[in-house]
Amino acid sequence: MASRTLRVTLALALFAAPAGRASAQTLNVVATTEDLGAITRQVGGDKVAVTALAKGYQDPHFVDPKPSFILAVSHADLLIVVGRELEIGWLPPLLTSGRNNKVQPGSKGYLDASLTVRILDIPAGQITRAMGDVHPFGNPHYWLEPGNGRKIARAIKDKLSELSPASAGFFAQRYADFDSRLAAAEKRWDEAMAPYKGTKIVTYHRSWPNFMERFGLNVMGYVEPKPGIPPSPSHTLELIQEMKAQGVKVIAVEPYFDLKTPQSIATQVGGQVVVLAPSVGGAKEAADYIALFDYDVNLLAAALKHASGK
Protein backbone atom coordinates (compact mmCIF):
# COMPACT_ATOMS: atom_id res chain seq x y z
CA MET A 1 0.00 0.00 0.00
CA ALA A 2 2.81 2.32 0.94
CA SER A 3 4.60 1.65 -2.34
CA ARG A 4 1.38 2.24 -4.28
CA THR A 5 0.95 5.60 -2.54
CA LEU A 6 4.57 6.42 -3.32
CA ARG A 7 4.10 5.56 -6.98
CA VAL A 8 0.94 7.66 -7.27
CA THR A 9 2.64 10.58 -5.50
CA LEU A 10 5.64 10.32 -7.82
CA ALA A 11 3.42 10.24 -10.89
CA LEU A 12 1.45 13.26 -9.73
CA ALA A 13 4.64 15.14 -8.91
CA LEU A 14 6.02 14.49 -12.39
CA PHE A 15 2.87 15.63 -14.18
CA ALA A 16 2.23 18.61 -11.90
CA ALA A 17 5.72 20.13 -12.07
CA PRO A 18 5.97 23.67 -13.47
CA ALA A 19 5.63 23.86 -17.22
CA GLY A 20 9.01 25.29 -18.07
CA ARG A 21 11.27 28.28 -17.95
CA ALA A 22 9.68 31.66 -17.54
CA SER A 23 9.56 33.86 -20.58
CA ALA A 24 12.60 36.12 -20.71
CA GLN A 25 13.07 39.59 -22.23
CA THR A 26 14.98 38.20 -25.18
CA LEU A 27 13.45 36.18 -27.98
CA ASN A 28 14.43 32.52 -27.97
CA VAL A 29 15.32 31.72 -31.55
CA VAL A 30 16.10 28.23 -32.79
CA ALA A 31 17.74 28.04 -36.21
CA THR A 32 18.16 24.67 -37.88
CA THR A 33 21.64 25.58 -39.14
CA GLU A 34 24.49 27.76 -37.97
CA ASP A 35 24.18 30.00 -41.03
CA LEU A 36 20.66 31.02 -40.13
CA GLY A 37 21.73 31.30 -36.50
CA ALA A 38 24.67 33.55 -37.39
CA ILE A 39 22.54 35.89 -39.50
CA THR A 40 19.96 36.03 -36.72
CA ARG A 41 22.68 37.06 -34.26
CA GLN A 42 23.81 39.77 -36.66
CA VAL A 43 20.31 41.20 -36.91
CA GLY A 44 19.00 40.44 -33.43
CA GLY A 45 22.03 41.36 -31.33
CA ASP A 46 21.48 40.99 -27.61
CA LYS A 47 17.72 40.91 -28.03
CA VAL A 48 17.80 37.33 -29.24
CA ALA A 49 19.14 34.12 -27.71
CA VAL A 50 19.99 31.87 -30.64
CA THR A 51 20.37 28.11 -30.65
CA ALA A 52 21.57 26.49 -33.87
CA LEU A 53 20.80 22.79 -34.18
CA ALA A 54 23.02 21.39 -36.97
CA LYS A 55 26.68 22.24 -36.65
CA GLY A 56 28.46 23.83 -39.58
CA TYR A 57 30.80 20.87 -39.93
CA GLN A 58 28.14 18.20 -40.11
CA ASP A 59 26.09 17.11 -43.09
CA PRO A 60 22.81 19.00 -42.66
CA HIS A 61 20.89 16.26 -44.47
CA PHE A 62 21.74 13.73 -41.76
CA VAL A 63 21.17 15.17 -38.33
CA ASP A 64 19.91 13.13 -35.41
CA PRO A 65 16.63 14.47 -33.98
CA LYS A 66 18.07 14.33 -30.47
CA PRO A 67 15.85 14.95 -27.45
CA SER A 68 18.09 17.88 -26.53
CA PHE A 69 16.86 19.49 -29.76
CA ILE A 70 13.28 18.80 -28.66
CA LEU A 71 14.00 20.83 -25.54
CA ALA A 72 15.34 23.70 -27.63
CA VAL A 73 12.32 23.68 -29.95
CA SER A 74 9.93 23.46 -27.01
CA HIS A 75 11.22 26.76 -25.63
CA ALA A 76 11.52 28.64 -28.93
CA ASP A 77 9.67 31.85 -29.74
CA LEU A 78 10.88 31.62 -33.31
CA LEU A 79 12.03 28.69 -35.41
CA ILE A 80 13.96 29.50 -38.59
CA VAL A 81 14.37 26.69 -41.09
CA VAL A 82 16.33 26.32 -44.32
CA GLY A 83 13.35 24.59 -45.93
CA ARG A 84 13.32 23.01 -49.40
CA GLU A 85 13.20 19.67 -47.53
CA LEU A 86 16.78 19.97 -46.29
CA GLU A 87 15.56 19.08 -42.80
CA ILE A 88 12.91 16.55 -43.93
CA GLY A 89 14.73 13.70 -42.17
CA TRP A 90 14.97 15.28 -38.75
CA LEU A 91 12.82 18.36 -38.19
CA PRO A 92 9.30 16.82 -38.27
CA PRO A 93 9.77 14.72 -35.09
CA LEU A 94 11.24 17.75 -33.32
CA LEU A 95 8.19 19.82 -34.24
CA THR A 96 5.79 17.13 -33.06
CA SER A 97 7.63 16.32 -29.85
CA GLY A 98 8.48 19.96 -29.11
CA ARG A 99 4.84 20.62 -28.14
CA ASN A 100 5.27 24.26 -29.07
CA ASN A 101 2.37 25.71 -31.03
CA LYS A 102 4.24 28.99 -31.49
CA VAL A 103 6.69 27.50 -33.97
CA GLN A 104 4.58 25.10 -36.02
CA PRO A 105 4.59 25.67 -39.81
CA GLY A 106 2.14 28.46 -40.58
CA SER A 107 2.44 29.96 -37.12
CA LYS A 108 3.80 33.41 -36.41
CA GLY A 109 6.97 31.97 -34.93
CA TYR A 110 7.92 29.84 -37.95
CA LEU A 111 10.11 31.28 -40.67
CA ASP A 112 11.07 29.39 -43.80
CA ALA A 113 14.14 31.31 -44.94
CA SER A 114 13.91 29.93 -48.48
CA LEU A 115 10.75 31.77 -49.42
CA THR A 116 12.36 35.06 -50.40
CA VAL A 117 15.65 33.91 -51.88
CA ARG A 118 16.84 32.80 -55.29
CA ILE A 119 16.57 29.03 -55.58
CA LEU A 120 18.46 27.06 -58.20
CA ASP A 121 18.15 23.50 -59.49
CA ILE A 122 14.38 23.32 -59.25
CA PRO A 123 13.56 20.09 -61.11
CA ALA A 124 11.49 20.82 -64.19
CA GLY A 125 10.47 17.32 -65.24
CA GLN A 126 9.48 14.19 -63.42
CA ILE A 127 11.83 13.18 -60.62
CA THR A 128 12.43 9.78 -59.06
CA ARG A 129 14.90 8.49 -56.51
CA ALA A 130 16.75 6.83 -59.36
CA MET A 131 18.24 10.31 -59.69
CA GLY A 132 19.61 10.06 -56.16
CA ASP A 133 18.44 12.04 -53.17
CA VAL A 134 17.07 14.94 -55.18
CA HIS A 135 15.30 17.86 -53.59
CA PRO A 136 11.96 18.33 -55.34
CA PHE A 137 11.74 22.00 -54.37
CA GLY A 138 15.17 23.05 -55.49
CA ASN A 139 18.69 23.14 -54.12
CA PRO A 140 18.58 23.93 -50.41
CA HIS A 141 22.18 25.21 -50.16
CA TYR A 142 21.05 28.66 -51.22
CA TRP A 143 22.62 30.52 -48.28
CA LEU A 144 26.01 30.21 -50.01
CA GLU A 145 25.36 33.37 -51.99
CA PRO A 146 25.72 36.78 -50.32
CA GLY A 147 22.69 38.20 -52.11
CA ASN A 148 20.59 35.43 -50.65
CA GLY A 149 22.21 36.06 -47.27
CA ARG A 150 20.99 39.65 -47.47
CA LYS A 151 17.47 38.46 -48.31
CA ILE A 152 17.55 36.01 -45.42
CA ALA A 153 18.68 38.78 -43.08
CA ARG A 154 15.86 41.02 -44.28
CA ALA A 155 13.29 38.26 -43.74
CA ILE A 156 14.68 37.65 -40.24
CA LYS A 157 14.63 41.39 -39.50
CA ASP A 158 10.98 41.56 -40.56
CA LYS A 159 10.06 38.49 -38.51
CA LEU A 160 11.89 39.65 -35.38
CA SER A 161 10.19 43.06 -35.72
CA GLU A 162 6.82 41.34 -36.04
CA LEU A 163 7.45 39.31 -32.89
CA SER A 164 8.98 42.17 -30.96
CA PRO A 165 7.64 45.46 -32.41
CA ALA A 166 9.23 47.52 -29.65
CA SER A 167 12.67 46.53 -30.96
CA ALA A 168 11.88 47.03 -34.65
CA GLY A 169 14.12 50.09 -34.86
CA PHE A 170 16.96 48.20 -33.23
CA PHE A 171 16.62 45.33 -35.69
CA ALA A 172 16.38 47.72 -38.64
CA GLN A 173 19.57 49.50 -37.58
CA ARG A 174 21.42 46.23 -37.13
CA TYR A 175 20.16 44.95 -40.47
CA ALA A 176 21.38 48.13 -42.18
CA ASP A 177 24.76 47.67 -40.52
CA PHE A 178 24.94 44.05 -41.67
CA ASP A 179 23.84 45.07 -45.16
CA SER A 180 26.57 47.67 -45.51
CA ARG A 181 29.26 45.38 -44.14
CA LEU A 182 28.10 42.65 -46.49
CA ALA A 183 28.15 45.04 -49.46
CA ALA A 184 31.71 46.09 -48.64
CA ALA A 185 32.74 42.47 -48.27
CA GLU A 186 31.12 41.56 -51.57
CA LYS A 187 33.38 44.01 -53.40
CA ARG A 188 36.34 42.34 -51.74
CA TRP A 189 35.18 38.87 -52.72
CA ASP A 190 34.34 39.89 -56.27
CA GLU A 191 37.81 41.36 -56.70
CA ALA A 192 39.45 38.24 -55.34
CA MET A 193 37.46 35.94 -57.61
CA ALA A 194 37.39 38.13 -60.73
CA PRO A 195 40.51 36.60 -62.35
CA TYR A 196 38.93 33.16 -62.28
CA LYS A 197 35.58 33.87 -63.94
CA GLY A 198 34.63 31.02 -66.20
CA THR A 199 37.05 28.57 -64.58
CA LYS A 200 35.76 25.04 -64.34
CA ILE A 201 35.71 23.25 -61.02
CA VAL A 202 34.51 19.97 -59.52
CA THR A 203 32.62 19.71 -56.24
CA TYR A 204 31.82 16.67 -54.13
CA HIS A 205 28.10 17.31 -53.56
CA ARG A 206 25.73 19.76 -55.20
CA SER A 207 26.21 22.20 -52.33
CA TRP A 208 27.62 25.10 -54.30
CA PRO A 209 25.43 26.15 -57.25
CA ASN A 210 24.58 29.55 -55.76
CA PHE A 211 28.17 30.20 -54.68
CA MET A 212 29.68 29.21 -58.01
CA GLU A 213 27.11 31.14 -60.01
CA ARG A 214 27.76 34.24 -57.91
CA PHE A 215 31.48 34.14 -58.57
CA GLY A 216 31.26 33.02 -62.17
CA LEU A 217 32.74 29.57 -61.76
CA ASN A 218 31.43 26.61 -63.73
CA VAL A 219 30.86 23.32 -61.94
CA MET A 220 31.99 20.73 -64.45
CA GLY A 221 31.14 17.64 -62.44
CA TYR A 222 30.65 16.06 -59.05
CA VAL A 223 32.51 13.43 -57.08
CA GLU A 224 29.13 11.92 -56.21
CA PRO A 225 27.65 10.16 -59.21
CA LYS A 226 24.20 11.32 -58.07
CA PRO A 227 23.15 13.45 -55.09
CA GLY A 228 23.63 11.51 -51.86
CA ILE A 229 25.16 8.48 -53.61
CA PRO A 230 28.77 7.70 -52.63
CA PRO A 231 31.44 7.76 -55.35
CA SER A 232 31.60 4.70 -57.60
CA PRO A 233 34.77 3.51 -59.41
CA SER A 234 33.22 3.90 -62.87
CA HIS A 235 32.00 7.43 -62.21
CA THR A 236 35.35 8.36 -60.68
CA LEU A 237 37.19 7.14 -63.78
CA GLU A 238 34.85 9.07 -66.07
CA LEU A 239 35.31 12.17 -63.95
CA ILE A 240 39.11 11.87 -64.08
CA GLN A 241 39.03 11.56 -67.87
CA GLU A 242 36.71 14.52 -68.21
CA MET A 243 38.77 16.65 -65.83
CA LYS A 244 41.91 15.83 -67.79
CA ALA A 245 40.18 16.62 -71.07
CA GLN A 246 38.90 19.95 -69.83
CA GLY A 247 41.91 20.86 -67.71
CA VAL A 248 40.00 21.03 -64.43
CA LYS A 249 42.34 21.11 -61.45
CA VAL A 250 40.37 22.02 -58.34
CA ILE A 251 37.97 19.84 -56.35
CA ALA A 252 35.92 21.53 -53.62
CA VAL A 253 34.89 19.23 -50.78
CA GLU A 254 32.71 19.76 -47.73
CA PRO A 255 34.40 18.96 -44.40
CA TYR A 256 32.04 16.07 -43.62
CA PHE A 257 33.01 13.98 -46.65
CA ASP A 258 35.83 11.49 -46.80
CA LEU A 259 38.82 12.92 -48.67
CA LYS A 260 40.15 9.64 -50.01
CA THR A 261 38.37 9.66 -53.39
CA PRO A 262 38.75 13.41 -54.05
CA GLN A 263 42.45 13.24 -53.24
CA SER A 264 42.91 10.24 -55.48
CA ILE A 265 41.20 12.14 -58.32
CA ALA A 266 43.33 15.22 -57.65
CA THR A 267 46.50 13.12 -57.82
CA GLN A 268 45.41 11.63 -61.13
CA VAL A 269 44.66 15.00 -62.73
CA GLY A 270 47.55 16.87 -61.11
CA GLY A 271 45.14 19.10 -59.25
CA GLN A 272 44.27 19.78 -55.66
CA VAL A 273 41.50 19.32 -53.13
CA VAL A 274 40.24 22.30 -51.23
CA VAL A 275 38.05 21.74 -48.17
CA LEU A 276 35.62 24.64 -48.12
CA ALA A 277 33.27 25.52 -45.29
CA PRO A 278 29.70 25.02 -46.51
CA SER A 279 28.32 26.68 -43.40
CA VAL A 280 29.23 29.01 -40.61
CA GLY A 281 31.26 26.92 -38.16
CA GLY A 282 32.36 24.59 -40.96
CA ALA A 283 35.87 25.78 -40.20
CA LYS A 284 37.20 27.54 -37.13
CA GLU A 285 37.81 30.75 -39.08
CA ALA A 286 34.27 30.79 -40.53
CA ALA A 287 32.82 32.13 -37.32
CA ASP A 288 30.07 34.28 -38.83
CA TYR A 289 28.34 34.78 -42.17
CA ILE A 290 30.84 37.25 -43.61
CA ALA A 291 33.81 35.31 -42.22
CA LEU A 292 32.39 32.22 -43.96
CA PHE A 293 32.80 33.84 -47.37
CA ASP A 294 36.15 35.38 -46.41
CA TYR A 295 37.36 31.89 -45.61
CA ASP A 296 35.94 30.19 -48.68
CA VAL A 297 36.87 32.91 -51.16
CA ASN A 298 40.44 33.15 -49.87
CA LEU A 299 40.89 29.40 -49.94
CA LEU A 300 39.32 28.95 -53.34
CA ALA A 301 41.13 31.91 -54.90
CA ALA A 302 44.44 30.57 -53.62
CA ALA A 303 43.69 27.12 -55.04
CA LEU A 304 42.62 28.53 -58.40
CA LYS A 305 45.67 30.77 -58.49
CA HIS A 306 47.90 27.79 -57.86
CA ALA A 307 46.09 25.78 -60.51
CA SER A 308 46.00 28.47 -63.18
CA GLY A 309 49.13 30.42 -62.36
CA LYS A 310 47.12 33.70 -62.55
Partner 1 sequence: MRVRSLTWAALIGAVLIVGPRPVSAQPAAPAAVLQQQIEQLRKELGDRIAALEAQLATLKAAPPEAALAPPPEPPPMPSGGGAASSTVFNPDMAVVGNFLGFGGRNVANPSPALELAESEASFQAVVDPYARGDFFLSFGEQGVSVEEGFLTFSELPGRFQVKVGKMRAAFGKVNGLHTHALSWADRPLVTGNLVGGEDGINDAGVSVARLIPAGTLFLEATGQVFRGDSGDTLFRTSTRGDLSYVGHLRAYHDLTESTNLDLGASVSHGHNPAGVIAGEDVGRFTTTLFGVDATVHWRPLTRAIYHQFVGRTEVVWSHRNQFDGEQRSLGYYVSGDYQFARRWFAGARYDRSARADLATRIDTGGSALLTYRPSEFSQVRGQYRHIHFGDAPAANEVLVQLQFSIGAHGAHVF
- Neighbour order of strands in the sheet with 272-275: 218-222, 200-203, 250-253, 272-275
Q: Are 199 and 249 within 8 A, CB to CB?
A: no
Integer Cα distance of 310 and 48 in angstroms: 45
* Residue 76 vs residues 80, 101, 152, 252, 254: alpha-carbon distances, Å: 10, 10, 19, 35, 30
* Smallest separation, CB 249 to partner 1 (Å): 26
Integer Cα distance of 91 and 32 in angstroms: 8
Binding mask 188-227 for partner 1 (x = CB under 8 A): ----------------------------------------
Which residue from 97, 236, 268, 298 is in contact with partner 1, where contact means CB under 8 A?
A: 97
- 117 touching partner 1, by CB under 8 A: yes
Size of the site for partner 1 (CB under 8 A): 61
Q: Smaller CB distance to partner 1: residue 70 or 266? A: 70
**Candidate segments 10-18, 32-40, 173-181, 299-307, binder of partner 1 by CB under 8 A:** 10-18
222 beta partners = 203
- 17 touching partner 1, by CB under 8 A: yes
80 beta partners = 31, 111
* Smallest separation, CB 303 to partner 1 (Å): 21
Binding mask 142-161 for partner 1 (x = CB under 8 A): --------------------
Q: Smaller CB distance to partner 1: residue 106 or 309? A: 106
**Candidate segments 65-73, 215-223, 242-250, 287-295, binder of partner 1 by CB under 8 A:** 65-73
Residue 261, class by beta-carbon neighbours within 10 Å (0-12 exposed, 13-18 middle, 19+ buried)?
A: buried
Tell me phi and psi for residue 221, to 5 degrees: -170, 180
Task: Quote the DSSP letter at residue 73.
Answer: H
> Which uninterrupted H or E stretch holds 172?
helix 168-193
Which residue from 120, 220, 287, 291 is in contact with partner 1, where contact means CB under 8 A?
A: 120
Q: Smaller CB distance to partner 1: residue 62 or 238? A: 62
Q: Smaller CB distance to partner 1: residue 125 or 309? A: 125
- 233 touching partner 1, by CB under 8 A: no
Q: Are 114 and 108 within 8 A, CB to CB?
A: no
* Smallest separation, CB 53 to partner 1 (Å): 11
End-to-end CA gap in the chain = 85
Contact residues: partner 1, CB under 8 A: 11, 14-15, 17-21, 55, 57-59, 62-68, 70-71, 74, 83-85, 88-93, 96-99, 101, 104-105, 112, 114-115, 117-120, 122, 124-125, 129, 132-133, 136-138, 228-230, 255-258
